[in-house]
Amino acid sequence: MSMRTLPLVFINLGGEMLYILDQRLHAHSTSEDKSEKVMNDIVGTMFSQAFMDEILKPQLLYSHRTMKVVLTRLAHVSIMKLNAVSMEKLYELMLMAFKYQVFLCPRPKDLLLISYNHIDTIRGFVKDTPAVLNKVDETHRKIIEIYSSMTAGEFQLLRQTLLTFLQDTHICVSIFLKNKIQNPNGRFALSTSGPVPHGMDVPGVIRIFDRKGREMRQRRFASGGSYSHPTKDASFGLHGDRVIKLGVNMLILYVPPLINIVWILLKRSQHTRMDASPNPLAKEELNLLACLMGTVEIENASGCETGFQINLLASAQEEEEGYAFYFSDESFEVINIQALKDEHSTTQLAQIAKLFVEQEETSNNVNSNKGDDLLAMMDDLGPL
């Protein structure tokens, strides 16, 4: 396991989250002032010096549960709030977008270019706020300093750690399905064509050398794809041409502007219906408490600025309709299994299940403790 994986996962998932939030803020016709405040607050907290110093320390990669908690807290540092369902789907979309980028990465070192594309786009979100922009640049410099000395073997280990983190995640995303880069079973359809990494030869030639290292002859074979030489090497500096487009805003590449991302995730889920009408008195008390705690800004003496809530993705009914649109009932086969009751087997299964529960509780406690420091640090930072 690589000890340098966490910073790249956090920056890339955080970048994907900012892409989606930016699109939804525009789709909801949110005022420019509120949109700018949300982006500045989130980016400012995400790239704050104390927080990034903790992230950049050599450490094991967090579990999905811990990573989700950290990103949820990050999304809520500003005046915008997301409900639990939206945040769950947001994390899944971020995860699948990043997984697709990792799969298409030409070579392990190019994982840095994916991260740099995210950072370059984030700069555009806060270009009018110099204080936040300086935080992004400073973090980028630290990443260059840390990762520039890594060997090819260390980058390969980092890639393997990422693949382990992303394995068994097969959530259908409508953007990918419509562009035929994902199959209905949630697995990606990877192309066998395109430019090879910089410094590599196009496959299809076998060179035979003599004992003195001189090339004697060549043999050609069908490579099974249409490959080409790269145009130029990418820039791994603070600024420059990254060449590859992995890590740029996929919502701009694949989705028309201001479209409602209702069909973005096609995952079956059941939601418990609850009474959504809040108690007015309780709401005012919570708003007052928030003002006293300093979590929202006080505009005038008579009241405080309340946050706004965004429903990012689809409702349960819309999800079911989305599934009906993409998948037919014939795609699934129901298998009936008759299980006979066996007292001895049942006892053994119960003992095995107990072991799994104990191991899971131990693992959850460890992962929870790992993220506690970051969450406490976020609480101290708060909005700008």
The residue to which tokens 């965004």 are assigned? 310
167-176, 182-191, 221-230, 256-265 — which is least confidently predicted? Answer: 256-265
Higher pLDDT: 356 or 279? It is 356
Phi, psi (deg, nearest 5) at residue 221? -145, 160
Q: Which residues contact 178 (CB under 8 A, 6 or more apart)?
A: 254
The reply to whether 46 falls in a domain is yes
Q: What is the pLDDT of residues 118-136, one digit of tens each?
A: 999 999 999 999 999 999 9
Q: What's the distance, CA 32 to chain centroid? A: 25
The reply to whether 286 falls in a domain is no
Q: Is the pLDDT of residue 137 over 60?
A: yes
The reply to whether 57 falls in a domain is yes
Largest pairwise CA distance in the chain: 88
The reply to whether 217 falls in a domain is no
The reply to whether 309 falls in a domain is no
Q: Which residues contact 320 (CB under 8 A, 6 or more apart)?
A: 268
The reply to whether 327 falls in a domain is no
Q: What is the pLDDT of residues 184-220, one digit of tens each?
A: 999 998 888 888 887 888 898 999 999 989 999 999 9
Averaged confidence pLDDT in the chain: 76
The reply to whether 221 falls in a domain is no
Into how many domains does the chain fold?
1
The reply to whether 331 falls in a domain is no
Q: Which domain holds residue 113?
A: 6-189+240-269+363-381
Write the single-letter amino acid at 34.
K
